[in-house]
């Protein structure tokens, strides 16, 4: 199973469990304060669980241990702090600042991690991935300053950086699938017939067929069939 598929399946499993618990909560009776806290806890669990699954997938892929461990650590810490706030109703001002900063960086790491997991093309890894990471880091940094200063100054820079970060995350699977950035080898072995290798070569005439030292051109309605002599 591919790591990207494992990540998506893990996120789907978390969403399914959260949905089942939410349905059970709704059917259980009236919606009150306790039910609201349950829903908030489910949302926190889903966000933290997605970040943990993404971090584990990145570690298994051996792409960036620092990013993987950072995502897991931030997700678990954020889950504990948010759960404590949801059920404990802490009013401490500094506590809210800590939660806000932690959430900003947790989401930033999640965006960068998911972007990396969706990419395998070297061209996109060299271009789109660092650009998305820079925009995401910039958004988290501006958000941190705004939270600590308790000021809305810089919200436009934050918004632009966030939009660019989300754009990169959305474009990653699309360009990977349809952008034609996947690098192909110069030659591709199609098969072996009677001890003879049949090879596809990049960059040549699509209608030119070369057999040994001889070559011939195909007509527009012709194709190639290779079979061993009986």
Residue 230: which pLDDT band, with cuts at 50, 70 and 90? low
Tell me how far apart the alpha carbons of residues 113 and 41 are, in angstroms, rounded to a whole number: 23
Give the percent of the chain with pLDDT over 90.
25
Mean pLDDT of the chain: 80
Residue-level pLDDT at 164: 94
Q: Does position 119 have pLDDT exceeding 60, yes or no?
A: yes
How do residues 64-80 score in pLDDT, each as one tens digit?
888 889 999 999 998 99
Positive or negative: CA dihedral 16, 77, 79, 101:
negative
The span from the CA of 101 to the CA of 81, in Å, is 12
Average pLDDT of 2-7?
59
Got the DSSP string for the chain?
A: --HHHHHHHHHHHHHHHHHHHHHHHHHHS---HHHHHHHHHHHHHHHHHHHHHHHHHHHHHTS-HHHHHHHHHHHHHHHHHHHHHHHH----HHHHHHHHHHHHHHHHHHHHHHHHHT---HHHHHHHHHHHHHHHHHHHHHHHHHHHHT--TTHHHHHHHHHHHHHHHHHHHHHHHHS------SEEEEEEETTEEEEEETTS-TTEEEETTEEEEPPTT---------
pLDDT tens digits, 17-35: 767 766 776 676 665 677 6
Indicate if the pLDDT at residue 114 is higher than 80.
yes
pLDDT value at 112 more than 80: yes
For 179-209, how does the pLDDT look when each residue is reduced to its tens digit (9 = 90+)? 655 555 566 676 676 667 777 776 666 667 7
Question: What is the Cα–Cα distance from 51 to 227, expressed in whole angstroms?
Answer: 52
Going from N- to C-terminal start, the domains of the chain cover 3-178, 185-230
Q: Dihedral of the CA atoms 121, 175, 183, 5 (nearest 10)?
A: 50
| Pick from 108, 98, 109: nearest CA to 66 | 109
Task: Give me the pLDDT at residue 188, please.
Answer: 67
pTM of the model: 0.66
């Amino acid at each position: 199973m591919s790591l990207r598929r494992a990540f998506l399946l893990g996120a789907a499993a978390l969403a399914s469990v959260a949905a089942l618990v939410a349905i059970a909560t709704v059917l259980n009776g009236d919606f009150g304060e306790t039910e609201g806290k349950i829903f908030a806890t489910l949302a926190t669990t889903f966000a933290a669980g997605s970040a943990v699954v993404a971090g584990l997938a990145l570690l298994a892929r051996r792409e960036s241990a620092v990013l993987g461990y950072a995502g897991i650590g931030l997700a678990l810490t954020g889950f504990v702090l948010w759960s404590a706030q949801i059920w404990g109703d802490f009013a401490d001002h500094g506590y809210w600042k800590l939660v806000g900063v932690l959430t900003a960086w947790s989401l930033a790491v999640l965006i960068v991690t998911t972007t990396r997991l969706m990419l395998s093309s070297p061209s996109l890894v060299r271009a789109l991935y660092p650009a998305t990471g820079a925009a995401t880091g910039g958004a988290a940094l501006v958000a941190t300053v705004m939270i600590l200063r308790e000021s809305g100054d810089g919200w436009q820079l934050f918004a632009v950086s966030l939009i660019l970060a989300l754009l990169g995350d959305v474009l990653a699977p699309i360009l990977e699938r349809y952008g034609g950035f996947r690098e192909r080898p110069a030659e591709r072995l199609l098969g072996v017939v009677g001890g003879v290798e049949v090879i596809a070569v990049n960059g040549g005439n699509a209608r030119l067929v070369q057999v040994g030292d001889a070559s011939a051109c195909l007509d527009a309605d012709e194709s190639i069939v290779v079979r061993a002599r009986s």
